Structure 1
Amino acid sequence: MNYRLFITLFCLLICSVSFCQKQNIDSLYKIVAQQKKLPLAQKKDTSYINLLNRYVLSNYYISNDTIKHYAEESLKLSEAIDYKSGEIESLINLGFYESEIGNYKEAIKYAERALEKAMALNQLKNILIAYSNLATFYEYSGDIKKSVEASLKGISMGENEAKKTETELLYLGLIYENLGITYGMQQEFKKALDFLYKAQEINKHTNSELASAQTLSNIASFQLKTKEYRKGIENIEKSILTFKELGFGDWLAYALKVKGQLYVEINKYEEALDIFMQSLSLYEKIEDKREKTSLLNGIAKTYNGMQEYDLAKIYAEEGLKSAKELNSFEDIKECSETLYKVYKRKLDFEHALFYYEQFKSYNDSIFNNENTKSIAAHEAQMSFIAMENELRLDNQKQHNKQRLFMYLSTGGVIILLTVLFFTQRSRKVERKLNGLLANKNHELKKREQELQSLNETKNKFFSVIAHDLRAPIASLNSLIDLLKDNQISPKDFMQFAPKLSEQVKSVSFTLNNLLVWGQAQMKGAISNPVESKLGAFAKDSSSLLKGLAHKKDITINNKIPDEAKVFVDEDQVNMVFRNLINNAIKFTPTNGIIEVLATENDSFWQVEVRDSGVGISQEEIDSILSNKTQFNSTYGTDNEKGTGLGLNLCKEMIKKNKGKLWIESTVNKGTSFFFTLPKLS
């Protein structure tokens, strides 16, 4: 069973980044850079320190180096002017940095310093943050006992405060929730639910629908373990509605998975399968491999319950493969157990025994790793052995001293070896857990960066497309309205027909590029290479664009040899030629020349589309060839519009056909676009 843990540090982002939501990192950096130029005396100001701390916060899970540099500067300036609130925030940020690089001892020291200063100022919000961070750092370092103690102290401080702000309530609720999940991970489900119910009570006094829905999801996941299936279904249904309304796809996928697991336990396999498939479709989009692995096993268990053993085997094996790639002991154990049950029902006892033994092995490992009382149990065992030896010593007769000495020596050796054994095993477990946590933090950081980049690309893309498509469509609409209202005659309308035709063709060209690009972004553009004549692509594209070239008196010369043949997807390569020639026409002045040439190499043909146009600067070339998707609306020599989508599409299609693209250009003289296409092997 997987639970979604609220990393307590993350509540900083929930509650404190309203400023960062309005100003992105770049704009914040510009302000910081301007302020840094000021004299030192002017920088020793609380507003500048607060700015530094906001900038540090905006870089959480993005740039650890930035966090360290500016948090240290903020701490130094705060100490210089005795600004205690600035010191506390700086210490919290430095603690986060140390935890991100796996230095939990230093992270704990910073959190303790922040707590001491927050206690001195009686700042409840920062006190709760410090205790929350301490609990998280101790848990990361494997010290569950101290983690629980820190959470309980934070809860005590929060509960003793009669009047709390909504932000303070949200922090208090998150501490309760994380404490509950900590107990749940140690199989203490009743205690876990008690803390989760308390967190939900606190959520009712805040305006955070998301926090309430997340808590309900975790409650339902534990009710699955306590066999309170009906209550679990009721709670998960509520959270699903909220996640749908707020658009949190990752939490919706998780909630659907929990709902499916609940339906499996009450033997409603068909309903469970439908719910699981909805969850699977969401995980395919958000690419959460760890949660998807758990889901695959849930689907396998469902098919097993439906006596569809072959399908159950397929999904369980896929889940097991993914679990091993992730080195997830819990998922390996669960998938192995499912395969054991499948093979047992298929009467394949050899495979059933193999997977049962694998299940048992991982189950024992997980028990040893997750047992919160393992160290205490070891200490108790040592005390028992010592006590037994002491009693034996008291009961021995005086004449048996030598035999007693032998027993005591043996007992001492056993104690020493046992202590050494458990100490080594505890260190090994700690290293494994630290590695797993570091990998998870890296995945979260990488995913956030990818999502931010994709969101910026999407916004710019739709802005450019909307701007460039609006004008021709508006013109066409206006003329149709005039014609419909008899304000112009059909004869007058026909005078505008050539211009309208050009605009409609431009819109069609852009929409065709948009369709192909959209398919490529959704990984739906599949290449189907065949042997094709290279010159035919240039000929077809030149014919298609001859109207545009004729309008500017531009000559297009196709110099590709007739014998040139390549092994490519014809539709995709046609798109490349069409866009590059169209681009050359756009940026070539009247009476210009465009040449399409090809040079043969051992395993590929090198194509060159050369024009006598305005040229491209090296900075623009670097931008075009970068890995980032670029959407730049530019105008040609005759004020032709463009979105930049065509060049992005060319890069994508050439890459799909195992080729390379590069550009050579001289400003005011012309540009050559080079790309390679493979021959038939």
Structure 2
Amino acid sequence: MKATEHLNIANDLPLRIRSDHLKFLETCRLPVVVLYWIKSLNSCFCMFAQGYIWDTLNKENSEWRTQKSVTIHFPTDSKLTVDKLMAIAVDGYLRIVQNQMKSGLSEKEAYYWLDGIPKSDNRELKEMAYDALKLIQEEHFSEAIDALSHILRVCTISPTEKMSILMNTGVAYYLLGDYADALELFNAVIEVSESANAEDKQEGLLIVHCNIGLVYSFLGYPDKAIAELTPLISRLQNSEYKVVEGSVLNTIGLAYKNKGMLNESIKYLNSAATSFQNANYISGVATSLNNKGLVYLLRREYDEAEDIFIKAMNIYEKLGSTLGVANAVGNLGLVYRHKHDYDKALEYINKSLEIHKKLNSKQYEANELGSIGLVHLEKGDFALALDYFNQALKLHREIGDRNGVANSLNNLGYLQMKKWDPSGAIEYYYKALAIYQGSGSKLAQINTLNNLIDAYRCRDEFDKARLCYERITKLCTELGIM
């Protein structure tokens, strides 16, 4: 806040301000109001700081960031009122979130689309949307879904606005790990777009196809994810949506990881990290690191994976991303399990599990339950391992996570092998293999076929083991890893 005794306000109210202060205000995630008190008028004038930077300063003085200080101008009609303050609080917040997609300040992997809401003249709609989006940013996903569903019930909205609400509801489901419901809502966005203005819907369709690709990847359909996302790359290269471009590259990298094409995965993840870094999207950099660490985990390069996960965790901690920290911590638990440091593995995985339970993130919760089961299995506690595997399987089935179901079946087969029951193991392995074949996850097929070879050898069925080996050879040739 700045104050002055007297000022000639015939045209506007000039104020000299340090550029480093403005650069700080530009990064704030809530609307910042700059107040100018004129004592002689007993009046206070106001300005939405981020909006002034984007709409005026960047256009009229593009070199302002290199200057020590700049002059900003308050319009003479900018006297502070309750209505003006409310407008800045609601419209300003929505503009900030929308700008995050373009400038790289968003913290999530799936992306909001708010074009319909800022264009609305419905004050009640904007306020309810503000509250719902705040719930998502605070990671209260179930409450956000309720709030967004309420908007659809009580508000008469345009097709563009409906696209926005459906999109953000899908994002909330996605962040809960409820991929089936997320996919249904994203497809609903495409249906509604047919009634929307062509110019208005272009951005929304770009975002929704990106989110659909994310869902396909996590549901265990890497080929579908790649097919959905690859055409977006050329459309995004020269666009302003650099964060979305990074997300597309990141998700393609994740899909190639799930297919077992690890070199291709690293290539796309590195490109994603570069896009995120250029956009100053630090959370995206952490996400790419996390996924890259998973690739090194598959390569059995555990020390490298550990270093990468620690870097990702530190970034998430600085950003205050609870979900990001939980994922990085859980991945570190996987590293310690592979290093046979079981106590440390349980410490990290349980920490991740508790966070995901609080966030109601079912898919992540199921993953951690399976990881805990594996640690107990390797410690020789078969009963406890069975309990955790069954809990994980039930959750994966509830949310429609095909890869998660297959992973749980594989774990149950591994348990039967530890109990010297190869026949029981074979039954579980074939169920898992069928799911992996349906999803196109070739590396998972190879791992499961290797498990079948061990089981057939225990039964002295070497011909069947050889057939599995031949299938592995064919898959490895297709992946280019022979």
What interval of TM-score do these two structures reach, taking the shorter chain for normalisation?
0.5 to 0.7
Which amino acid in the other structure matches residue 355 of structure 1?
A
- The equivalent residue for 2:373 is 260
What is the TM-score of this pair, normalised by structure 2? 0.53
The question of 1:209 aligning with 2:322 is answered yes
Q: Distance in 2 between matches of 1:232 and 1:190?
A: 14
- The equivalent residue for 1:152 is 273
**CA deviation profile, 1:383-426 (whole Å, cap 9, x unmatched):** xxxxxxxxxxxxxxxxxxxxxxxxxxxxxxxxxxxxxxxxxxxx
- The equivalent residue for 1:133 is 248
1:71–1:146 CA distance, 2 compared to 1 (3 A)? farther
Alpha-carbon contact 1:253-1:279 (below 8 Å) kept:
yes
Alpha-carbon contact 1:336-1:356 (below 8 Å) kept:
no
Where does 1:595-614 land on structure 2 (aligned, <5 Å)?
none
1:200–1:77 CA distance, 2 compared to 1 (3 A)? same
Q: Per-residue deviation at 1:212? A: 2.1
Q: Distance in 2 between matches of 1:24 and 1:178?
A: 32
Q: Per-residue deviation at 1:108? A: 0.9
Taking only the aligned residue pairs, the percentage that are identical comes to 17
Q: Per-residue deviation at 1:255? A: 1.0
Q: Secondary structure at the match of 1:32?
A: coil
Q: Per-residue deviation at 1:190? A: 4.3
The partner residue of 1:113 within 238, 244, 253 is 238
- The equivalent residue for 1:306 is 419
What is the TM-score of this pair, normalised by structure 1? 0.39
Q: Distance in 1 between matches of 2:212 and 2:418?
A: 47
1:245–1:316 CA distance, 2 compared to 1 (3 A)? same
1:208–1:190 CA distance, 2 compared to 1 (3 A)? same
The question of 1:76 aligning with 2:187 is answered no
The partner residue of 1:354 within 449, 464, 468 is 464
Deviates more, 1:64-73 or 1:337-346: 64-73
Counting matched residue pairs gives 322
1:276–1:187 CA distance, 2 compared to 1 (3 A)? same
- The equivalent residue for 2:30 is none
The question of 1:96 aligning with 2:96 is answered no
**CA deviation profile, 1:326-354 (whole Å, cap 9, x unmatched):** 554444433433333334334x2xx2441
- The equivalent residue for 1:523 is none
Q: Distance in 2 between matches of 1:356 and 1:96?
A: 42
Q: Distance in 1 between matches of 2:154 and 2:434?
A: 44
Q: Distance in 1 between matches of 2:232 and 2:355?
A: 35
Which amino acid in the other structure matches residue 96 of structure 1?
C
Q: Which runs of 5+ in 1 are unaligned?
A: 1-6, 37-48, 79-86, 118-125, 162-167, 375-681
Q: Distance in 2 between matches of 1:309 and 1:182?
A: 30
Where does 1:278-289 land on structure 2 (aligned, <5 Å)?
278-289=391-402
Q: Per-residue deviation at 1:323? A: 4.5
The partner residue of 2:348 within 235, 238, 243 is 235
The question of 1:10 aligning with 2:120 is answered no
- The equivalent residue for 2:152 is 27
1:128–1:181 CA distance, 2 compared to 1 (3 A)? farther
Q: Distance in 1 between matches of 2:285 and 2:380?
A: 38
**CA deviation profile, 1:258-308 (whole Å, cap 9, x unmatched):** 122233334444432333233334345445343222222222222222324
Q: Distance in 2 between matches of 1:325 and 1:202?
A: 36
Q: Distance in 1 between matches of 2:211 and 2:360?
A: 30
Q: Distance in 2 between matches of 1:307 and 1:156?
A: 50
Q: Per-residue deviation at 1:358? A: 0.5
Alpha-carbon contact 1:303-1:309 (below 8 Å) kept:
yes
Q: Per-residue deviation at 1:156? A: 3.1
Alpha-carbon contact 2:367-2:404 (below 8 Å) kept:
yes
- The equivalent residue for 1:315 is 428
**CA deviation profile, 1:592-644 (whole Å, cap 9, x unmatched):** xxxxxxxxxxxxxxxxxxxxxxxxxxxxxxxxxxxxxxxxxxxxxxxxxxxxx
Where does 1:338-377 land on structure 2 (aligned, <5 Å)?
338-346=451-459, 348=460, 351-359=461-469, 361-362=471-472, 365-366=475-476, 368-369=478-479, 371=481
Q: Distance in 2 between matches of 1:59 and 1:245?
A: 20
Q: Distance in 1 between matches of 2:253 and 2:194?
A: 22
1:301–1:276 CA distance, 2 compared to 1 (3 A)? same
Alpha-carbon contact 2:148-2:165 (below 8 Å) kept:
no
Q: Per-residue deviation at 1:357? A: 3.8
Q: Per-residue deviation at 1:199? A: 1.6
Q: Distance in 2 between matches of 1:225 and 1:72?
A: 52
Q: Per-residue deviation at 1:216? A: 2.3
Where does 1:655-674 land on structure 2 (aligned, <5 Å)?
none
Q: Distance in 1 between matches of 2:356 and 2:407?
A: 20
- Name which structure has the greater RCO, CA cutoff 8 Å, separation 6+: 2
Q: Distance in 1 between matches of 2:437 and 2:209?
A: 33
1:370–1:298 CA distance, 2 compared to 1 (3 A)? farther
Q: Per-residue deviation at 1:57? A: 4.4
1:94–1:228 CA distance, 2 compared to 1 (3 A)? same
Q: Distance in 2 between matches of 1:188 and 1:179?
A: 11
Q: Secondary structure at the match of 2:238?
A: helix
